[in-house]
Amino acid sequence: MTATHFGHMRSRKHSHPFAEGLTAFAAVMLMLAGILGICRGIMAIAEDEVFVSTRNYVFEFDLTGWGWVHLVLGAVAVLVSLGLFQASLWARIAGVAIAGLIVVANFLSLPYYPVWSIVMIAFSAFIIWALCVVKRDDS
C-alpha cells in the first residue's frame, strides 16, 4: 500500500463500538441515577420515614430542601441522558457536570441516607468515567 492509501484510511470515519458502548452505558446509568434521584426527592419532600434524622452535621439542611435538590438534579439528569442516547457532545459535557453535581449533593446528604448516598456516588463516578474516557473524535 502506498502512503496515499494510509492517509486515506486515516481520514475515513470509522465506527468505534467501544466509544458508542460507553456512551450508551453512561446514558442508561445517568437515566437510572436521574429516576432514582427523582424518587429520592419525592420521598424527602413528603418527609418519608426512610431518612435518618441527624443532629450536629456541618451541612445541615431541611429534608424538604434536600428533596428539591435531588428532584431537580434527577429531572435534569434524565433530560441529559436522552441527549446522550443521540451521542451529542453537549450531552456528554452536561452529563459530566450533572454527575459531578450528583456526587456533591449525595456527599452532602450522606448522614440522611448514608448507604444510598454511597451507591449514588459510585453510579455517578462510573458515569463520569464513561463520558470522559471517550475521545472527542469518537463521538
Domain count, the chain: 1
Q: How far is CA 60 from CA 99, 121, 123, 124, 133, in A?
A: 22, 19, 24, 23, 35
Counting residues of the chain whose pLDDT is more than 90, the rounded percentage is: 32
CA distance 44 to 75: 15
Model confidence at 12, in pLDDT bands (50, 70, 90)? Answer: very low
With cut-offs at 50, 70 and 90, classify the pLDDT of residue 9.
Answer: very low
In this structure, of 42-51, 63-72, 94-103, the range with the lowest mean pLDDT score is 42-51
- Share the mean pLDDT of the chain: 79
Residue 8 lies in a domain: no
| Residue 23 domain boundaries | 17-48+58-134
In a domain, 9, yes or no: no
Q: If you compute the radius of gyration of the chain from its CA atoms, what whole number of angstroms results?
A: 19
Q: Is residue 99 part of a domain?
A: yes
Residue 65, CA distances (Å) to 47, 55, 80, 128 in order: 10, 16, 23, 26
- Answer whether residue 100 shows pLDDT above 80: yes
pLDDT in tens, 14-38: 455 655 788 888 899 999 989 988 9
**Mean pLDDT throughout 78-104?**
92
SS3 52: coil
For residue 66, being part of any structural domain is answered with yes
- The answer to whether residues 69 and 113 touch, using CB atoms and an 8 Å cutoff, is no
Task: Tell me, yes or no, whether 97 lies in a domain.
Answer: yes
Residue 103 lies in a domain: yes
For residues 51-60, average pLDDT: 59
From CA 53, how far away is CA 55, in angstroms rounded?
A: 7
What is the distance of C-alpha 101 from the center of its chain?
8
Residue 114 domain flag: yes
Query: Per the domain annotation, does 119 fall within a domain?
Result: yes
pTM of the model: 0.72
